[in-house]
Structure 1
Amino acid sequence: MTAGTRLLPARSNRFIIISSCIVLSLFFIYLVPKGDSNCHTLRPIHESAEHFSTQQLPLSFENLNGLKATADAVENKEHVLILTPLKNAEPYLPRYFELIEALSYPKDLISLSFLVSDTTDNTIQYLSNYADSKAGSADSYHSFNIYEKDFDFVMPEGDRHQFEVQAIRRKFMARSRNYLLTAALKNEHLWVLWLDVDVVDYPSTVLQDLISLNKDVVVPNCLLKTEDGSFWGYDKNNWQETTESLEFQSTLEENVVLVEGYEELQTHRVYLTDFPTHGDKLHTIPLDGVGATFTLVKAQVHREGGNFPAYTFQHEVETEGFAKMAKALGFGVFGLPAYLIYHINNS
């Protein structure tokens, strides 16, 4: 060793060697692409998202801008969804289906859906048997769906029209309608018909007739079927507000529910059945409340939030609450005084 040469301690040499190894390791880990099939090189975020959406997650895209009901529904092949909530309805179903089969609207554009609640008869079995009988036939429907949802609401059948039970009964009806609507409504449906199972007479052209008016919500005039053909109004849930009815409502507490057709409560409204029934069948008048014996609704009204309130909404629940809600959303509600349909006398 020559004079003036300085030796580094052994510990310093080890430090330099270890530091160099760490730097080289980091270089290979982060900067050199790997060929291992279990590792992936970094990709831009949009490529990575595209990879996962097409490779690992189910992807569905539907453009809802074209969901528009028109007055030319048959020509445009617009689908109609018929909705009927049921309870112990077996005796009414033969006539119900007889009338639907007679409809002139194309069967392949009609979907039928039912919600059966708290039933003790063979309603579900009858529906199932009927669906089986239509399967594969030339006049089969586009779809046929049966849903069951019990609410444990028990009331003697003979008491269902009593004044005292109307508010609670109608709130349960609202819940059943909302279950049926949310289960059955599909993007293909442009019109929704709410049809009572115990409506026993209406024209075979009724769907085309009502659709031709191109209204958001429209109802015919539902009368009571009588043996002698005498005039008796049935659906008193189709009505107009009056100055007197609005003044009366201003005196009520917010949670008071109004129901129609009872001596115990005079609402001062004008019913659709009060208007003249002669003249043009397709003449319409504006309404503020509707029932659901036969109510045609553009599906858009439901899609944009029009449902059946099971709570007090502007002093209404269920169908009249739906009419109030539809109007609050900016849709029109109309009735046809001279277009007559008939309901069975089951009071």
Structure 2
Amino acid sequence: MTEKVIMIGCPVRNRGWILPRYLQCLEEIDYPQDKIKFCFIVNDSIDETETILAEFSRRSPSPVQIITAPNSSKGGHRRGEYRLERLAQLRNMLLERFIQSECEYLLSVDSDILVPPEIIKKLQSRNCLIISALVCNGHHIDDMTIYNVMEKLPSGHYQHMKDFPRDDVFPTDVTGAAYLIHRSVAAEYKVYYSAGTFAEDIGFCEKARARGIPVFCDGTIECRHIMDEPGGL
């Protein structure tokens, strides 16, 4: 099978504390280096984020785009301080770079997620337009049953799915953090991020489902989520 060209990237802000580990995991992905392109949207960073990315760009055998987003004075970089509208804008900048490229897929991986080497091959083999790997989001509240999959209730609200298979692919209403997006999702179906009542990942998945695109998660793949910055509150 001929491997498809994949873009890997995310918005990045003040992630110097985790970027070396994050980038090392991306370098260790089991996929041909000439079929990978990286793209990072740097957002108001005041730490060594840009220096680390520049060094990564110099050593990487795969092309690396580092895009500096226009400055925004609102919203901190720590968890809970993000401005959702800003995150939607930044993620849409990444989608625009994706559809301007020749890449068939975008692997969107948040910059505090450490992925396993097999992530691309396993997700790609599922032949889904949108499919994520499992990411635990409950470390900061000591609830290790909270993952990056949610279901919509009759009330219109969302709740985290707790009962899902670990040995198969399963449908979900919302996912995020680490997922593979086929080019057609943005280029043909015009699915982009938005943030209103809910977070931008919810807006993205709602728009996809409204256009007839099902959202899946692969329960056989799990990433590590490093949620707490050393020395952070």
CA–CA distance in structure 1, aligned partners of residues 14 and 101 of structure 2: 30
- Alignment check: 8 A CA contact 2:129 2:213 kept: yes
What amino acid is the match of 1:90? Answer: G
Give the drift of 1:294: 0.5
1:286 aligns with 171
The equivalent position to 1:192 in structure 2, one of 106, 112, 119, is 106
Instruction: Give the superposition deviation at 1:186.
Output: 3.1
Matched, 1:275 2:163: yes
**Contact 1:225/1:344 (8 A) holds in 2:** no
Tell me the CA shift for residue 156 of structure 1: 4.2
Q: How far apart are residue 199 of structure 1 and its match?
A: 0.9
SS at match of 2:26: helix
Secondary structure in 2 matching 1:185: helix
**Cα gap change, 1:326 to 1:206, in 2 (>3 Å):** same
Report the residue type matching 1:217 in the other structure: I
1: CA distance, partners of 2:158 / 2:119: 31
Match of 2:52 in 1: 126
Specify the alignment match of 1:232 in structure 2.
144
Higher relative contact order (CA 8 A, sep 6+): 2
Matches within 5 A, 1:253-268: 267=157
Q: Is the partner of 2:227 in helix, strand or coil?
A: coil
**2:7–2:37 contact (8 Å) kept in structure 1:** yes
Aligned partner of 1:49 in structure 2 is: none
Structure 1: tracts of 5 or more residues without a match = 1-74, 135-139, 250-266
Q: Is it true that 1:308 corresponds to 2:193 in the alignment?
A: yes
Residues 187, 130 of structure 1: alpha-carbon distance in 2 compared, 3 angstrom cutoff: closer
Residue in 2 aligned with 1:19?
none
C-alpha separation in 1, matches of 2:41 and 2:158: 34
CA distance in 2 between partners of 1:187 and 1:113 (Å): 11
| Root-mean-square deviation (Å) | 2.3
Listed as ranges, the gaps of 5+ residues in structure 2 are none
Paired amino acid for 2:119: V
**CA–CA distance in structure 1, aligned partners of residues 32 and 160 of structure 2:** 36
Query: Could you tell me how far apart the structure 2 residues matched to 1:79 and 1:219 are?
Result: 18
Q: Tell me, what secondary structure is at the counterpart of 1:183?
A: helix
CA spacing shift, 1:233–1:112, aligned 2, 3 Å = farther
Deviation at 1:234, TM superposition (A): 5.1
TM-score by length of 1: 0.60
Residues 1:147 and 2:67 aligned together: yes
TM-score (norm 2): 0.87
Q: Percent identity?
A: 23
The letter for the 2-side match of 1:194 is S
Q: Distance in 2 between matches of 1:316 and 1:154?
A: 18
Tell me the number of residue pairs that the alignment of Structure 1 and Structure 2 aligns: 226
2-side partners of 1:184 and 1:231: how far apart? Answer: 35
Provide the residue aligned with 1:9 in structure 2. Answer: none
Give 1:109 shift.
0.3
Quote how far apart the aligned CAs of 1:337 are: 3.1
The residue number in structure 2 matching 1:203 is 116
| 1:185-206 Cα deviation digits (max 9, x unpaired) | 3341111111011113x32111
- Between Structure 1 and Structure 2, the one with more strand by share is 2
Q: SS at 1:240's partner residue?
A: strand
2:34 matched residue in structure 1: 108
Question: Which structure carries more helix by proportion?
Answer: 1
State how 1:57-206 maps to structure 2 within 5 Å. 75-134=1-60, 140-141=61-62, 143-158=63-78, 160-161=79-80, 169-200=83-114, 202-206=115-119
Determine the C-alpha separation between the residues in 2 that align with 1:148 and 1:306: 23
Given that residues 223 and 231 in structure 1 are in contact (C-alpha distance below 8 angstroms), is that contact kept between their aligned partners in structure 2? no
Specify the code of the residue in structure 2 equivalent to 1:269. Answer: Q
Q: Distance in 2 between matches of 1:332 and 1:286?
A: 7
**Does the CA contact (< 8 Å) of 2:8 and 2:37 recur in 1?**
yes
C-alpha distance in 1 between matches for 2:145 and 2:71: 30
Alignment partner of 1:346 out of 205, 221, 228: 228
Q: Give the letter for the 1:299 counterpart.
A: R
SS in 2 for 1:189: coil
